[in-house]
Amino acid sequence: MQQQSMNMPNMNMQQPPGVISTKDSLYLTDMMSWNLLSAKKAHFFAQQCQDPEIKAEAEKCGQMHQRHYQQLLQHLGQHANQQQPLNNMQ
């Protein structure tokens, strides 16, 4: 198995696929939930911190999760806008 992966070229996706399957949609929903919960927990933790350095790092962590949540939301919004004209034709 290791030999196979070493011989295969790096196959990174340059852009997301045009179709989101049900499984993908459920996974994206889970990812959004995880990021939102992590952002909330980091913000709560930062509010409880006395040490300014730790508080700043917790806020940075929360902002990162919030950014990831927004990126997923934006991607899903773009996908919905692309699919909308097809639905109107039916």
Average pLDDT, the chain: 83
How does pLDDT run across 12-56, given as a tens digit for each residue?
778 867 778 889 889 999 999 999 999 999 999 999 999 999 999
DSSP 42-58: HHHHHHH--SHHHHHHH
Q: What is the pTM of this model?
A: 0.68
Question: Sorting pLDDT into bands at 50, 70 and 90, what band is 83?
Answer: low
- Residue 55: per-residue pLDDT: 97
CA angle, residues 82, 83, 88, in degrees to nearest 5: 120
Predicted local distance difference test score (pLDDT) of residue 48: 97
Question: Which amino acid, one-letter code, is at 29?
Answer: T
Look at residue 90 in the predicted model and tell me its pLDDT. 45
Q: Would you list the domain boundaries of the chain?
A: 21-88
